[in-house]
Amino acid sequence: MHNRVLIALLVTLSISWIARPVAADPVADGTFVELMNTERSVAGLSPLEPYIDLVDDARIQTMAMMAAGDIYHSSNLAAVTTGWEALGENVGYGPTVAKLHRAFMASPHHRDNILGDYDRVGVYSDVDASGRMYVTVIFMRTQPGFEVPDLKGAERWPVAAMAGSAGFGVGVH
């Protein structure tokens, strides 16, 4: 009897471990920022600075999309933070950072956000158990005089080399 209970427990734990989402990768988030800032530099624009308040809301949106298995825009973007003059949002899913970035740049609306009149950005990406990456990018133009909190000592997003991948299509919204 005890052996059957132990085996059932081990099977349950194994299944839950296999089905769990892969942990978020801050390297991927930093790579998104790096790629957007490269595009902005080529266009003669100032770089976007990461803003932790936007990252928190991007995380909430990404996790909600992953749970739904679909992509959609935030229904309450205006409430994500204070001190903004303008906000924008890109959401998508696909196999890699590079492919998602190319899809965003190939879409006029998403490209307009990346090259838009913004100065702050929050990015959060995560990969579901099947390997599909979901991402939310929130753009912000700060109000004149708005003081962004100083995050000295906070770890900056690292940037990693990108690897190509096949499999899933890319979806942007």
Question: What pLDDT, on the 0 to 100 scale, is given for residue 170?
Answer: 54
Alpha carbon 106 to chain centroid, angstroms: 18
Below-70 pLDDT ranges, the chain = 1-24, 150-173
| 3-state SS, residue 134 | strand
Question: What pLDDT, on the 0 to 100 scale, is given for residue 112?
Answer: 98
Question: What pLDDT, on the 0 to 100 scale, is given for residue 106?
Answer: 97
Question: Any idea which residue has 């929050």 for tokens?
Answer: 122
Question: Considering the entire predicted model, what is its pTM?
Answer: 0.75
